[in-house]
Amino acid sequence: MPLEILLAMVVLGIAGIAILTIWLGFGRRRALSEDTSQADWLRHFPEDVVRSVWISSDAHAALVLTDRGPGLLWAMGADTTARRLSDAQVSETASGLDIRFADFTAPRVGLRLDADARLVWKRMMEEP
Contact 52, 124 (CB under 8 A): no
Q: Is the pLDDT of residue 11 over 90?
A: yes
pLDDT given for residue 116 in this prediction: 86
Tell me how far apart the alpha carbons of residues 110 and 88 are, in angstroms, rounded to a whole number.
13
Residue 37 contacts residue 51 (beta carbons within 8 Å): no
Say whether pLDDT at 27 is over 80: no
Digit-coded pLDDT (tens) for 57-113 = 889 999 999 999 999 999 988 889 999 988 888 888 888 899 998 888 888 888 888
Is residue 17 over pLDDT 90? yes
Task: Kindly report which listed range (26-30, 40-44, 61-65, 115-119) carries the lowest average pLDDT score.
Answer: 26-30
5 pLDDT tier (thresholds 50, 70, 90): very high
Q: What is the pTM of this model?
A: 0.77
Tell me what pLDDT residue 128 has: 60
Strand order through the sheet with 96-100: 89-92, 96-100, 108-112
Question: In 3D, which of 42, 64, 63 has the Cα closest to residue 51?
Answer: 64
